[in-house]
Structure 1
Amino acid sequence: MKTFKLISLDIVENDNSVEVPLEDGLILNKEDEHSTWLIEAYTDLSKYDYFKKIYETGREIIVEAVITKKDNAPAYFQTRISSLQKFEQHISVLFQGVLRRNKSDYSELLLDNLIQKGLQGEALLNEFKEKMKSKPKLKVKDS
């Protein structure tokens, strides 16, 4: 099992993403036969009702996580909430899921996004270089 620091977390829903303001967070690669990952987000109490609705329905959600360093490309996980704990001022949300390898290559997602915007040639190359440095959030298409 390997443990990493969770730097940022977003919930990806349709064409939107909901930023989860982290007080703290961890992500664990269980390195089991199912390639399971656990993501714990310790966040503001104001998100409790949002996560409670997701938890009660048991539906799968895609999360975008930046791990270890702010500069790292985000990784996408297909998850379910396995635990939701309420504290005085914060909540702990535990997600369990698998890495979506086909969604984890940021450069491919970025290039596809720029091509969809109609960029080509020198303009495409310049925008790609700029965005690879700034790493803006991208919309994720379902497989």
Structure 2
Amino acid sequence: MKSFKLYSLDVVGDGNSMEIPLVDGLILNKEDEHSTWLLEAYTNLSLYDYFKKISEEDRDIILEAVITKKENAPAYFQTKICSLIRFEEHISVLFQGQMRRNKSDYSELLLDSLIEKGFKGPDLLKEFKEKMQSKPKIKVKHT
């Protein structure tokens, strides 16, 4: 099992994303036969009802996680909430699931996004190079 600092976390869905403000976060690669990952977000109490509803519906939730430091490309996980604990001022949300895309897929997602925005030729190349350096969040299409 390997553990990492969860630098940032977004819930992704229906062409948009919601940033989860982290007080603290941890991500674990269980390195088991199912390639299971655990992500824990320690966040604002105001998000309790949002996550409680998702948990009660027992539905999948797609997460975009940046691991260890800001410069790293985001990784995508298909998860379910397996624990939701309410504290006085914060909540702990524990997600369990599998990595959906590996980090090398970021360039493909970025390129697709730029083409959809109408970039072509030299402008596409210039914008792609700039975005690969700054690593902006990308809205992911789900089918």
Q: What is the TM-score with the length of structure 2 in the denominator?
A: 0.96
Q: Which residue of 2 aligns with 1:114?
A: 114
The Cα of 1:117 is off from its aligned counterpart by: 1.6
Q: Give 5+ residue unaligned stretches, structure 2.
A: none
Cα drift, residue 101 of structure 1: 2.4
Q: Distance in 1 between matches of 2:89 and 2:133?
A: 35
Give deviations 1:85-131, integer Å, cap 9, x for gaps. Answer: 00000000000000012686111100011111221111001000111
User: Deviation at 1:134?
Assistant: 1.5
Secondary structure in structure 2 of the residue aligned to 1:31: coil
Residue number in structure 1 paired with 2:7:
7
Q: How many residues align?
A: 143
What residue in structure 2 maps to residue 98 of structure 1? Answer: 98
Q: After alignment, is 20-29 or 10-19 more displaced?
A: 10-19
2:62 equivalent in structure 1? 62
Structure 1: runs of 5+ lacking an equivalent = none
For residues 10-46 of structure 1, the C-alpha deviation after alignment (integer angstroms, 9 at most, x for no partner) is 0002111111000000000000000000000000101
| SS of 2:70 mapped into structure 1 | coil
Structure 1 CA distance, aligned partners of 2:25 and 2:49? Answer: 19
Q: Deviations over 1:40-97 (max 9, x none)?
A: 0000101101000001110001000000111000000000000000000000000000
Secondary structure of 1:80 counterpart:
strand
Q: How far apart, in 1, do the equivalents of 2:105 and 2:73 lie?
A: 8
Equivalents in 1 of 2:141, 2:76: separation in Å?
Answer: 11
CA distance in 2, matches of 1:105, 1:88: 39
CA distance in 2 between counterparts of 1:8 and 1:61 reads 16
Identity of counterpart residues, as a percentage? Answer: 75
Find runs of 4+ consecutive structure 1 residues off by over 4 angstroms.
none
TM-score, length basis structure 1? 0.96
What is the SS of the residue equivalent to 1:100?
strand
